[in-house]
Amino acid sequence: MSRRFLYAMFVALPVLAGAVVHSQGPASQSGPSVDQMRRAVSQLRNTRIAVPRDYDALTAEQQAYVRGILTGPRGDISAPLGVMMVSPGLGDLAQRAMAYARFSGREGFGSVPPKLNELAILMVGKYWSANYVWNAHHNYAVQMGLPREIVDAILAGRRPARMEKDVEAVYDFCNELLTTRKVNDATLQNAKAVLGGDRGVVDLVGTLALYQLTAMMVVVDQSPLPEGVKPYF
Protein backbone atom coordinates (compact mmCIF):
# COMPACT_ATOMS: atom_id res chain seq x y z
CA MET A 1 0.00 0.00 0.00
CA SER A 2 1.63 3.27 -1.12
CA ARG A 3 2.04 6.40 0.99
CA ARG A 4 0.10 8.31 -1.68
CA PHE A 5 -2.87 5.95 -1.26
CA LEU A 6 -2.77 6.30 2.53
CA TYR A 7 -2.70 10.09 2.26
CA ALA A 8 -5.66 10.08 -0.13
CA MET A 9 -7.58 7.80 2.22
CA PHE A 10 -7.13 10.11 5.21
CA VAL A 11 -7.90 13.23 3.20
CA ALA A 12 -11.20 11.58 2.23
CA LEU A 13 -12.23 10.99 5.85
CA PRO A 14 -14.40 14.12 6.08
CA VAL A 15 -16.44 12.75 3.18
CA LEU A 16 -16.77 9.42 4.95
CA ALA A 17 -17.87 11.18 8.11
CA GLY A 18 -20.45 13.04 6.06
CA ALA A 19 -21.61 16.60 5.75
CA VAL A 20 -24.09 15.98 8.59
CA VAL A 21 -21.22 15.68 11.08
CA HIS A 22 -19.76 18.97 9.94
CA SER A 23 -23.11 20.71 10.17
CA GLN A 24 -23.15 19.90 13.89
CA GLY A 25 -20.06 22.01 14.54
CA PRO A 26 -20.09 25.54 15.88
CA ALA A 27 -18.83 27.13 12.69
CA SER A 28 -21.02 27.94 9.73
CA GLN A 29 -20.85 25.93 6.51
CA SER A 30 -18.55 28.63 5.12
CA GLY A 31 -16.08 27.88 7.89
CA PRO A 32 -14.95 29.75 11.01
CA SER A 33 -14.29 33.46 10.96
CA VAL A 34 -10.78 34.84 11.37
CA ASP A 35 -11.76 36.12 14.81
CA GLN A 36 -12.89 32.62 15.83
CA MET A 37 -9.60 31.17 14.67
CA ARG A 38 -7.59 33.88 16.42
CA ARG A 39 -9.45 33.25 19.66
CA ALA A 40 -9.00 29.46 19.44
CA VAL A 41 -5.25 29.75 18.87
CA SER A 42 -4.80 32.33 21.64
CA GLN A 43 -6.42 29.94 24.14
CA LEU A 44 -3.88 27.13 23.60
CA ARG A 45 -2.16 26.21 26.86
CA ASN A 46 0.44 23.61 26.02
CA THR A 47 3.65 23.47 28.02
CA ARG A 48 6.73 21.52 26.88
CA ILE A 49 6.06 21.76 23.12
CA ALA A 50 6.46 25.27 21.73
CA VAL A 51 2.94 25.75 20.41
CA PRO A 52 2.26 29.10 18.70
CA ARG A 53 -0.53 31.20 20.20
CA ASP A 54 -0.76 34.02 17.67
CA TYR A 55 -2.93 33.13 14.68
CA ASP A 56 -1.49 35.91 12.56
CA ALA A 57 2.04 34.56 13.07
CA LEU A 58 1.13 31.08 11.84
CA THR A 59 2.29 29.73 8.51
CA ALA A 60 -0.29 29.27 5.76
CA GLU A 61 -0.24 25.51 6.44
CA GLN A 62 -0.87 26.06 10.15
CA GLN A 63 -3.74 28.46 9.43
CA ALA A 64 -5.28 25.89 7.10
CA TYR A 65 -4.92 23.32 9.89
CA VAL A 66 -6.78 25.58 12.33
CA ARG A 67 -9.53 26.18 9.79
CA GLY A 68 -9.84 22.43 9.19
CA ILE A 69 -10.30 21.73 12.90
CA LEU A 70 -12.89 24.45 13.47
CA THR A 71 -14.83 23.67 10.28
CA GLY A 72 -15.52 20.21 11.72
CA PRO A 73 -17.52 19.18 14.79
CA ARG A 74 -15.16 20.71 17.37
CA GLY A 75 -15.67 24.07 19.02
CA ASP A 76 -12.05 24.63 19.96
CA ILE A 77 -8.54 23.22 19.56
CA SER A 78 -7.83 20.55 22.13
CA ALA A 79 -4.39 20.19 23.71
CA PRO A 80 -3.24 17.23 21.57
CA LEU A 81 -4.30 19.01 18.39
CA GLY A 82 -2.51 22.08 19.69
CA VAL A 83 0.67 20.06 20.16
CA MET A 84 0.42 18.92 16.55
CA MET A 85 0.24 22.56 15.41
CA VAL A 86 4.02 22.38 15.09
CA SER A 87 3.57 19.63 12.48
CA PRO A 88 0.35 20.65 10.72
CA GLY A 89 0.58 18.04 7.99
CA LEU A 90 0.51 15.25 10.56
CA GLY A 91 -2.00 17.19 12.65
CA ASP A 92 -4.49 17.62 9.83
CA LEU A 93 -4.47 13.94 8.93
CA ALA A 94 -4.84 13.03 12.61
CA GLN A 95 -7.64 15.49 13.39
CA ARG A 96 -9.69 14.26 10.43
CA ALA A 97 -9.26 10.64 11.48
CA MET A 98 -10.07 11.42 15.12
CA ALA A 99 -13.18 13.38 14.11
CA TYR A 100 -14.37 10.30 12.23
CA ALA A 101 -13.57 8.02 15.16
CA ARG A 102 -15.23 10.15 17.82
CA PHE A 103 -18.10 11.97 16.15
CA SER A 104 -19.31 10.05 13.12
CA GLY A 105 -21.06 7.36 15.18
CA ARG A 106 -23.52 9.98 16.41
CA GLU A 107 -24.76 10.49 12.86
CA GLY A 108 -24.87 6.86 11.77
CA PHE A 109 -21.64 6.78 9.77
CA GLY A 110 -19.35 5.07 12.26
CA SER A 111 -20.02 1.50 13.30
CA VAL A 112 -19.14 1.79 17.02
CA PRO A 113 -21.89 3.28 19.24
CA PRO A 114 -20.75 6.42 21.10
CA LYS A 115 -20.84 4.87 24.60
CA LEU A 116 -18.60 2.00 23.45
CA ASN A 117 -16.29 4.36 21.62
CA GLU A 118 -15.94 6.45 24.77
CA LEU A 119 -15.27 3.28 26.77
CA ALA A 120 -12.34 2.55 24.48
CA ILE A 121 -11.03 6.11 24.79
CA LEU A 122 -11.20 5.98 28.59
CA MET A 123 -9.30 2.72 28.62
CA VAL A 124 -6.56 4.31 26.51
CA GLY A 125 -6.52 7.31 28.85
CA LYS A 126 -6.08 5.01 31.83
CA TYR A 127 -3.47 2.87 30.07
CA TRP A 128 -1.33 5.95 29.36
CA SER A 129 -2.21 7.78 32.60
CA ALA A 130 -3.17 10.65 30.32
CA ASN A 131 -4.88 13.14 32.61
CA TYR A 132 -5.96 15.45 29.81
CA VAL A 133 -7.65 12.64 27.87
CA TRP A 134 -9.42 11.34 30.96
CA ASN A 135 -10.65 14.79 31.92
CA ALA A 136 -11.96 15.42 28.41
CA HIS A 137 -13.90 12.16 28.20
CA HIS A 138 -15.02 10.76 31.57
CA ASN A 139 -18.16 12.90 31.92
CA TYR A 140 -18.90 12.77 28.21
CA ALA A 141 -18.81 8.97 28.36
CA VAL A 142 -21.55 9.04 31.00
CA GLN A 143 -23.58 11.43 28.84
CA MET A 144 -23.28 8.91 26.02
CA GLY A 145 -24.73 6.15 28.22
CA LEU A 146 -21.75 4.50 29.89
CA PRO A 147 -22.65 3.90 33.58
CA ARG A 148 -20.71 6.02 36.05
CA GLU A 149 -19.74 2.95 38.10
CA ILE A 150 -17.93 1.55 35.06
CA VAL A 151 -16.05 4.80 34.54
CA ASP A 152 -15.06 4.81 38.22
CA ALA A 153 -13.88 1.20 38.06
CA ILE A 154 -11.65 1.91 35.06
CA LEU A 155 -10.15 4.91 36.85
CA ALA A 156 -9.45 2.71 39.90
CA GLY A 157 -7.80 0.08 37.73
CA ARG A 158 -10.27 -2.70 38.43
CA ARG A 159 -12.61 -4.72 36.26
CA PRO A 160 -16.17 -3.35 36.53
CA ALA A 161 -18.39 -5.62 38.63
CA ARG A 162 -21.43 -5.46 36.38
CA MET A 163 -21.50 -4.78 32.65
CA GLU A 164 -24.09 -5.16 29.94
CA LYS A 165 -23.18 -7.61 27.19
CA ASP A 166 -22.01 -4.99 24.69
CA VAL A 167 -19.94 -3.10 27.24
CA GLU A 168 -18.34 -6.29 28.56
CA ALA A 169 -17.40 -7.47 25.07
CA VAL A 170 -15.74 -4.16 24.20
CA TYR A 171 -14.09 -3.86 27.62
CA ASP A 172 -12.58 -7.35 27.29
CA PHE A 173 -11.40 -6.67 23.73
CA CYS A 174 -9.73 -3.36 24.62
CA ASN A 175 -8.23 -4.64 27.84
CA GLU A 176 -6.80 -7.73 26.19
CA LEU A 177 -5.35 -5.85 23.24
CA LEU A 178 -3.85 -3.06 25.34
CA THR A 179 -2.37 -5.22 28.08
CA THR A 180 -1.35 -8.40 26.22
CA ARG A 181 -0.91 -7.02 22.67
CA LYS A 182 -3.04 -9.82 21.27
CA VAL A 183 -6.70 -10.89 21.17
CA ASN A 184 -7.89 -14.48 21.47
CA ASP A 185 -10.58 -15.94 19.20
CA ALA A 186 -13.37 -15.88 21.76
CA THR A 187 -12.77 -12.24 22.64
CA LEU A 188 -12.72 -11.29 18.98
CA GLN A 189 -15.94 -13.14 18.21
CA ASN A 190 -17.70 -11.50 21.17
CA ALA A 191 -16.62 -8.09 19.93
CA LYS A 192 -17.81 -8.87 16.41
CA ALA A 193 -21.19 -9.95 17.77
CA VAL A 194 -21.90 -6.67 19.56
CA LEU A 195 -20.30 -4.39 16.95
CA GLY A 196 -21.98 -5.87 13.89
CA GLY A 197 -19.02 -7.71 12.41
CA ASP A 198 -15.55 -7.01 11.11
CA ARG A 199 -16.05 -3.33 10.35
CA GLY A 200 -16.99 -2.61 13.95
CA VAL A 201 -13.85 -4.33 15.19
CA VAL A 202 -11.67 -2.42 12.73
CA ASP A 203 -13.27 0.91 13.71
CA LEU A 204 -12.76 0.06 17.39
CA VAL A 205 -9.08 -0.72 16.82
CA GLY A 206 -8.85 2.56 14.93
CA THR A 207 -10.21 4.44 17.95
CA LEU A 208 -7.73 2.72 20.25
CA ALA A 209 -4.84 3.57 17.95
CA LEU A 210 -5.85 7.18 17.30
CA TYR A 211 -6.40 7.96 20.95
CA GLN A 212 -3.08 6.41 21.89
CA LEU A 213 -1.61 9.03 19.55
CA THR A 214 -3.62 11.67 21.44
CA ALA A 215 -2.56 10.31 24.82
CA MET A 216 1.10 10.19 23.87
CA MET A 217 0.98 13.80 22.65
CA VAL A 218 -0.40 15.14 25.93
CA VAL A 219 1.89 12.94 28.04
CA VAL A 220 4.96 14.22 26.19
CA ASP A 221 3.71 17.80 26.39
CA GLN A 222 2.44 17.46 29.97
CA SER A 223 -0.62 19.35 28.76
CA PRO A 224 -2.27 21.16 31.68
CA LEU A 225 -5.70 20.45 33.06
CA PRO A 226 -8.24 23.26 33.42
CA GLU A 227 -7.73 25.49 36.45
CA GLY A 228 -8.97 23.83 39.63
CA VAL A 229 -8.94 20.26 38.23
CA LYS A 230 -6.60 17.89 40.06
CA PRO A 231 -4.70 15.13 38.21
CA TYR A 232 -6.50 11.79 38.07
CA PHE A 233 -3.35 9.64 37.88
**What local confidence, expressed as pLDDT, does residue 57 receive?**
96
Task: Compute the C-alpha angle 177/183/187, nearest 5°.
Answer: 110
**Global pTM value:** 0.84
Domains of the chain and CATH, by start: 3-105 (no CATH), 112-221 (1.20.1290.10)
**pLDDT tens sequence across 101-137:** 888 765 545 689 999 999 999 999 999 999 999 999 9
For the chain, the distance separating the N- and C-terminal CA atoms, rounded to the nearest angstrom, is 39
pLDDT, tens digit, for every residue of 38-92?
Answer: 999 999 987 899 999 999 999 999 999 999 999 988 889 999 999 999 999 999 9
Per-residue pLDDT tens over the stretch 77-101? 999 999 999 999 999 999 999 998 8
Q: Given this model, what pLDDT does residue 29 score? A: 55
Sign for the pseudo-dihedral over CA of 162, 167, 173, 177: negative
